[in-house]
Amino acid sequence: MNGAPPQGSLADIRVIEMGQLLAGPFCGQLLGDMGADVIKLEPPGAGDPMRLWGQGDEKVQWEVIARNKRSVTCNLRVPEGQDLARKLIATADVLVENFKPGTLEKWGLSPAELHRDNPGLIIARMSGYGQDGPYSDRAGFGGIGEAMGGWRYIVGEPDRPPARMGISIGDTLCATYGAMGVLAALHHRERTGEGQVVDTALYEAVLQVMEGLVPEYDRNGYIRERSGSILPGIAPSNVYSCTDGPFMIGANKDEIFARLAQAMGQPELASDPRYATHLARGKHQTELDELINEWTGSLTIDEVEQAMIDHSIPAGRVYTAKDMLADPHFRARDAIVEVETERHGKLKMQNAFPKLSRTPSGIRRAAPAEPGQHNDEIYAELLGLDAQARADLAERCII
């Protein structure tokens, strides 16, 4: 893997990634998976806190988010470190950062200053509330963006406080929209030569996936509430209990529900006025779910799955990571790959995505094991610093 030739759509693009934890680094991961040369700036010493994140005894989340990256250390809180960063950014196509708004400006690295040296630079800025507005100077994490963007209020059971997903969805949504903005800005630069700023806020990234939540209130005065495992009025679409575990069925379209009724051995349900139409099923959602649950509760997952396949009904098992690793479809599509990592040996993780037929993305390089692992090659290659200069900077904790 290490030393493999560049591949992917962005193989000629250099990205400088500044910032820590999730939003900025996940944006860098996406661009790196698409072939970009991602140079990550870490603080001297411990490096990015993500190195210590994850569940279980061995912390391996870093191996995913830092793949396809090279690491240099750079103390951004001192003028000499800021000068090093400025010189690196001058060689780049893209800068990704997720500091609190105003931080780059405080360091003398404002977009205006960076564009003087590098007019075509694209600056992807990720923050809690965006670069302007009355809340822009507030600290923000992904969970706060999920709350403000409307996600947290509608997640969970109706009789309990708002819940969360088991992942940091606010951060990764913000990063994904940031990467989308970078791709659009690269296309604009190809036509004009102009760089620009991509401003993504955590709360606005979450807001983008809220479907009809805002116009439903604006037009109807309707406020979506927590509804547990269902979407109100969308039926049947739920997780049902089999004798050996849960199983997901989505049969809310009229024709599909008719096929589900056949699979259940109760074809009359499809013409029953309570269930015959989308609106009727929505009104009788609870009792319909009880009927289906009664049927699945007498069968195994294998039996229900086969019935769904036979009747062409969207349905599937509720997977854990263990299930994914055992599944032949995951294997056939290389959705999960084994990567040789420096810290943990062979490690299975999700592959690069989406799939491109002409310029495939991929994992070309394992995550850097140590902060500053590539100091010598990058500072020599890009800035021309000799061994003595690098040693002097390291002695003074600038790198």
Residues annotated as part of the active site: 171
φ/ψ bin of 130: left (φ > 0), alpha (ψ from -120 to 50), beta (otherwise): left
Whether omega for the bond prior to residue 6 falls within 30 degrees of 0, making it cis, is no
Q: How many Cα atoms sit within 13 Å of 321 on the Cβ side?
A: 6
Long-range pairs, 284-289, Cβ under 8 A, ≥24: 284/235, 285/230, 285/232, 285/233, 285/234, 285/235, 285/236, 288/235, 288/236, 289/230, 289/235, 289/236, 289/238, 289/240
| Whole-Å CA distances, 82 to 114, 201, 398 | 12, 25, 9
Q: Where are the alpha helices (DSSP H) in the chain?
A: 23-33, 61-65, 79-90, 103-106, 111-117, 142-148, 151-154, 169-192, 202-208, 213-220, 254-263, 278-283, 285-296, 301-310, 321-326, 328-332, 375-383, 387-395
Whether omega for the bond prior to residue 354 falls within 30 degrees of 0, making it cis, is yes
Contact, 72 vs 375, CB < 8 A? Answer: yes
CA nearest neighbour of 353 among 339, 368, 336: 336
d(C-alpha 363, C-alpha 23), whole Å: 20
Three-state SS at 213: helix
Contact, 16 vs 117, CB < 8 A? Answer: no
Contact, 114 vs 35, CB < 8 A? Answer: no
Cα angle 281-287-291, degrees, rounded to a multiple of 5: 100
The two counts, helices (H) then strands (E), for the chain are 18, 11
d(C-alpha 327, C-alpha 97), whole Å: 37
In degrees rounded to 5, what are phi and psi of residue 250? -125, 100
CA nearest neighbour of 223 among 234, 232, 214: 214
